[in-house]
Amino acid sequence: MTNELLVDIDSVQVSVKLSRTRRLQIVDYASMQIRRGEMMGLIGESGSGKTMLCRGFIGTLERRDAYISGGKILFDGIDLAKAKDETWRAIRGKRIGYVPQSALAGPNPVLTIEAQLLETLKNDPKLDRQSARKRAMELLEIVQIRRPDIVMKQYPNQLSGGMKQRVMIACAIALQPELIVADEPTTGLDVTVQAEIMKLLKDIRSEFNTSIVLVSHDLPLINDVCDRITVMHAGATIETLPSSEIEKSKHPYTIALYKSRIDLAPPRGELITIKGQPPAVGNWQEGCRFNQRCDFVTDACLVGPHPRYIQLAQDHQTACINHASISDKVGSR
């Protein structure tokens, strides 16, 4: 990993059009920087806006009903929030690969794996049909599919969940993108397969220096494989910090997520869960959106707009205005 910035997402907002006159803001403050070769985990409870944010910077929001309503997204210096179709055509799938959240539903069911890969590889003008076939085999080898010659001829319904996910990853890396966004790539897979897919993503990162955004609601999983994590809650990014410093978190929501780790629960003790529910989308209260659920709440948390990032160290930003009163050791809280 280098220090060179590949993606700079700054105060991004994503909205949907509910009707001709009604708009709903789904993401109202997202800031996240991704370096070349960095693996960034994006985590948060279901409904916090992770998928909508990712689709914003991959350019797959349905133009008709969802759009980026504020902020900027610089990808290698190009502002994607303002990009025209032609810019997107040069970037989507080519410089940014995507493993969508519904990927377990799988690759296109009516195409063989070979046809599927060739469809993607058509976008590489340097490849004729024969070299595209060779490259398809090579991609299946990269994602560690045994007997790629057999798998090439198969249809998705002949493959297990883990194999389908490998094929989806092969499609995402086919054109050697600089960034891969993998949205919950292991949700629904069993634990061993989960670990294998995580290892595969790590290997791809080290071999090709690809930046990866790994989306999940599972903090322990993300914390193990990513360099840094960004936490989202109720449509806003609330903390970014290095995974190795998770215990120095300065946001009560991150701390609560970390404490609810199953593997940290005492053997006979209760599983710690976060009290309350995240606020409903768009129905956000005054002040910090975590204030109803927070053990550290003060009067200042109940008023004003939702807090923006405060820079605590080069790689650590938090949105908690009371960060200074949060002690340094998660375990001692």
Ligand X SMILES: Nc1ncnc2c1ncn2[C@@H]1O[C@H](COP(=O)(O)OP(=O)(O)O)[C@@H](O)[C@H]1O
| Least CB distance to Mg ion at residue 50 (A) | 5
- 73: β partners: 9
If one asks whether residue 240 binds Mg ion (CB under 5 A), the answer comes out as no
- Residue 322 sits in the site that holds Mg ion (CB under 5 A): no
The option from ligand X, Mg ion, none interacting with 26 (CB < 5 to 8 A, set by class) reads: ligand X
216, 222 Cβ separation under 8 angstroms: yes
Least Å distance between CB 12 and Mg ion?
Answer: 16
Binding partner of residue 292 among Mg ion, ligand X, none, CB cut-off 5 to 8 Å per kind: none
Considering beta carbons, is residue 113 or 234 the nearer one to ligand X? 234
* Cβ-based nearer residue to ligand X, 26 or 174: 26
For 18, other C-beta atoms within 10 Å of its C-beta total 11
Query: What would the two tokens of residue 214 be?
Result: 């790994």
Q: Binding mask 22-61 vs Mg ion (x if CB under 5 A, - otherwise)?
A: ----------------------------xx----------
Shortest spacing between CB 181 and ligand X, in angstroms: 12
Select 66 or 301, whichever has its Cβ closest to Mg ion: 66
Report the 3 state secondary structure along 269-289: CCCCCCCCCCCCCCCCCCCCC
- The number of C-alpha atoms within 13 Å of 71 and in the hemisphere containing its C-beta is 22
Q: Is the distance from CB of 256 to CB of 271 less than 8 angstroms?
A: no
Angle value at C-alpha 309, between 303 and 315, nearest 5 degrees: 155
* Those residues with Cβ within 8 angstroms of residue 305's Cβ, 6 or more apart along the chain or in another chain: none
DSSP structural state of residue 93: T
The closest residue (CB) to ligand X is 51
Please enumerate in sequence order all residues whose Cβ is within 8 A of that of 242, keeping only pairs 6 or more positions apart, or say none. Answer: 227, 228, 315, 316
Helix or strand (DSSP H, E) at 183: strand 179-183
Q: Is 317 in the site for Mg ion (CB under 5 A)?
A: no
Report if residue 249 touches Mg ion, rule: CB under 5 A. no
Q: Summarize as ranges the residues that interact with ligand X (CB under 6 A).
A: 16, 24, 26, 44, 46-52, 65-66, 281
Distance, CA of 36 to chain centre: 16
Q: Which is nearer to Mg ion, 114 or 184 (CB)?
A: 184
Rounded to a whole number of angstroms, the minimum distance from the CB of residue 119 to ligand X is 26
Nearer Cβ to Mg ion, position 145 or 234? 234
Nearer to ligand X, 233 or 316 (CB): 233
Residue 186 binds to Mg ion (criterion: CB under 5 A): no
Q: What residues make contact with Mg ion under the rule CB under 5 A?
A: 50-51, 101
